[in-house]
Structure 1
Amino acid sequence: MGGWAIAVHGGAGVDPRLPPHRQEEAKQILSHCLRLGISALRSSLPAVDVVELVVRELESNPFFNAGRGSALTTKGTVEMEASIMDGEKRRCGAVSGVSTVKSAISLARLVMDKSPHSYLAFDGAEEFARQQGLEVVDNEFFITEDNRKMLKLAKEANSIVFDYRIPLIGRDSCGFEEGTGGMSAIEHALQMNGLPISVYAPETVGCVAVDVLGRCAAATSTGGLMNKMNGRIGDSPLIGAGTYASDLCAVSATGEGEAIIRATLARDVSALMEYKGMGVKEAVDWAIRERLEEGKGGLIAVSSNGDVTFGFNCVGMFRGCANEDGIFEVGVW
């Protein structure tokens, strides 16, 4: 075995003008979560327990788009979703439309372990959470003032904010030109993004890990898209799209959910390793390059032999990784 390894992400796509102190804040959060995961792996905790632990910690921090700080629906409410997968036996659990459960990822874990199903949503997921004794809070707990302001901007732009940033049409950089024919930056931006790139939006979170026994697991959690339609489901809770784990690897995705769903992105990485004999880095690079088409996103992945990698096709991705050989890195760009 190649030893344990772990990777975390806080979303793909970052505004290049994100203030340095905010970049540093993200790095500190990711470093803290990495250390939490490392300690658990060194204590011989199974990979599936580690990824739940780390993602639950990420959900508790309003900097990112999961748990407290989740993106708001067009009605100003929070509908969270998450999934977890244990690669050893390809067991999985997922939830969508969660509005009062404090940890969506822990609910997904209970769906996997304590229900006869793989996926529960909305009222059924909420009812199951109460049956299982999970901590619940009012929907207001998850809503931050920053996200109320973001929703207002999204409504004014009549657009949805994806959890990645994209440049202007026909421009190589992500800067905005002022005074172009009297049109605003919003009007010049790609409608898929809908807001000036200088407006920072929080991001989806995820964790992948392989333990000392070579067992792989993945977990992903999100609040979705700012100003999304009520009932919208993204890639994060969909096994094979935003999350996947097998006996070969574990993968967590982030970015434009609709493009990731069409690409079955996370599963593709495992399939490339299984059927093409690729290493995990080669598989991640190929999937990002060939499967996302015009969509923007990123992946983190570990292999059962302890390799850890990431890939993205946008400006940046909040990420961190560590392994038994002493690697410890956090990055944005």
Structure 2
Amino acid sequence: MTIYTQKGSISLSDLQNGKKITLLHGGSGPADPKGPKAQTAATALNSVLENISSPEAQTYESSLLLEHKKMNHATGATKAEIRAVKAAYLLEHNPCFNAGYGAALQSDGVARVSASFMESTRQKFSAVMNCRDIINPSKLAFLLQHEKFCVLDSTGARNLIHDLKLPTEDLATVERLEAYTQSNAESQALHPFEPDGKGTIGAVVVDCDGHLAAVTSTGGVGFETVGRVGDTPTVAGNFCTHEVAISCTGYGEQIVNSALAAAIATRVADGFSLVAAVEKSLLDGQKKGYEFAAICIHKDSQTNTIHWVAASLEPYFVWAARVGTQTLGFWDSLPA
């Protein structure tokens, strides 16, 4: 049994000297990027890491904080929170991923997106699911952090969009509509639906103050039952405590069945190293024939060390990491 793992660590003093860590993923599993599409996705992830402080991202940060103020949130946001949500914003605007613009279409031909957010100071989970016509569901999940009712379905999300006067737009691309038409034809001919190789996105961050944040955003699996909910807007797919931040990707139902992100966090809290916690959690899934992956950061206060891991049960996990000024990443070399 093989688990594909990349890992690294830095000292807490390096972190305090400004050497923050950001990990991103663009999907893992049979439905997600492989071959040339994987390389395109990996290039996009690296571009996000390079441009997370670009004028476009800074403008988005300003609008984000303005919406934050509109909702009468008394406390500010940590650098980790803002960095994670800015990364999600850039990825949700890139149609080579299955999130935001270019999201997969459900069986009725409509794109519905979901996202969740969590960070280490409040340790509060917030999420939206099956939202229509909103390109950045990660923004909604972030803004719900200070709300009493912080997990909303499609109706609640639509009301929030209206209350905040956020712009709406059609998320379907020409490529998605063509894939949907083909899927309908294949279904009628009793042929299986073939996924298009675009994946869920996620980000985990630790800032120079030691704050953690995790965000995950998805357009689902494509051609699924209308209203289907996967792992992304649950603590199985996205989780953060005072010491660990986790974002998962793969088959949503399998991730939920494994309570994957929460299981990894629990094992770390119980004394497992981050690598051991991740590999044990993935191994448990592998024994059931599951296929999923995760990116994680652990702030180990006992050893004054920050650890990070990107791990997958499949060799085609698209991810990237920025550790200080160094960028790392991986994708498969299989044909599309």
Could you say which TM-score interval applies, normalised by the shorter chain?
A: 0.7 to 0.9
Q: Percent identity?
A: 24
**Which residue in 1 is equivalent to 2:174?**
145
DSSP 3-state at the match of 1:270: helix
User: Are the structure 2 counterparts of residues 219 and 16 from structure 1 closer, same or farther at C-alpha, using a change threshold of 3 Å?
Assistant: closer
**Which residue in 2 is equivalent to 1:74?**
107
Residues in 1 aligned to 2:33 and 2:136: alpha-carbon distance in whole angstroms: 31
Residues in 2 aligned to 1:278 and 1:156: alpha-carbon distance in whole angstroms: 49
The answer on 1:6 being equivalent to 2:22 is yes
Deviation at 1:309, TM superposition (A): 1.0
Deviations 1:58-82 (A, max 9, x none): 0001110000110101000011100
**Structure 2 residue corresponding to 1:296, chosen from 291, 307, 325:** 291
Residues in 2 aligned to 1:234 and 1:85: alpha-carbon distance in whole angstroms: 17
**Which residue in 2 is equivalent to 1:264?**
259
**Structure 2 residue corresponding to 1:202, chosen from 198, 202, 221:** 198
Is the 1:234–1:258 contact (alpha carbons within 8 Å) kept by the matching residues of 2?
yes
**Which residue in 2 is equivalent to 1:318?**
318
Residues in 2 aligned to 1:86 and 1:45: alpha-carbon distance in whole angstroms: 9
Residues in 2 aligned to 1:103 and 1:245: alpha-carbon distance in whole angstroms: 20
**Which residue in 1 is equivalent to 2:229?**
233
Is the 1:252–1:299 contact (alpha carbons within 8 Å) kept by the matching residues of 2?
yes
Aligned residue pair count: 289
Residues in 2 aligned to 1:81 and 1:15: alpha-carbon distance in whole angstroms: 17
Deviation at 1:243, TM superposition (A): 0.1
DSSP 3-state at the match of 1:226: coil
Is the 1:244–1:267 contact (alpha carbons within 8 Å) kept by the matching residues of 2?
yes
Deviations 1:148-187 (A, max 9, x none): 232234334439xxxxxxxxxxxxxxxxxxxxxxxx9x96
**Which residue in 2 is equivalent to 1:57?**
90
Question: Which amino acid letter does the alignment assign opposite residue 331 of structure 2?
Answer: V
The answer on 1:110 being equivalent to 2:105 is no
TM-score (norm 2): 0.79
The answer on 1:24 being equivalent to 2:33 is no
Residues in 1 aligned to 2:296 and 2:97: alpha-carbon distance in whole angstroms: 20
Residues in 1 aligned to 2:274 and 2:307: alpha-carbon distance in whole angstroms: 7
Residues in 2 aligned to 1:38 and 1:88: alpha-carbon distance in whole angstroms: 23
User: Are the structure 2 counterparts of residues 158 and 36 from structure 1 closer, same or farther at C-alpha, using a change threshold of 3 Å?
Assistant: same
DSSP 3-state at the match of 2:306: coil
Residues in 1 aligned to 2:33 and 2:278: alpha-carbon distance in whole angstroms: 27
Question: Which amino acid letter does the alignment assign opposite residue 6 of structure 1?
Answer: T
Question: Which amino acid letter does the alignment assign opposite residue 9 of structure 1?
Answer: H
Runs of 5+ consecutive residues of structure 1 not aligned to the other structure:
160-183, 188-193
Residues in 2 aligned to 1:332 and 1:301: alpha-carbon distance in whole angstroms: 17
Deviations 1:266-295 (A, max 9, x none): 0111111101x1221221111111135222
Residues in 1 aligned to 2:53 and 2:256: alpha-carbon distance in whole angstroms: 30
The answer on 1:282 being equivalent to 2:276 is yes
Residues in 1 aligned to 2:197 and 2:308: alpha-carbon distance in whole angstroms: 27
Deviations 1:90-137 (A, max 9, x none): 022100121022210001111113x21120111221111221232222
Deviations 1:219-252 (A, max 9, x none): 00000011011111110011x2110001111000
Residues in 2 aligned to 1:133 and 1:80: alpha-carbon distance in whole angstroms: 18
Residues in 1 aligned to 2:33 and 2:233: alpha-carbon distance in whole angstroms: 30
**Structure 1 residue corresponding to 2:158, chosen from 123, 126, 140:** 126
Is the 1:18–1:200 contact (alpha carbons within 8 Å) kept by the matching residues of 2?
no
Residues in 2 aligned to 1:157 and 1:280: alpha-carbon distance in whole angstroms: 43
Is the 1:83–1:237 contact (alpha carbons within 8 Å) kept by the matching residues of 2?
yes
DSSP 3-state at the match of 1:219: strand
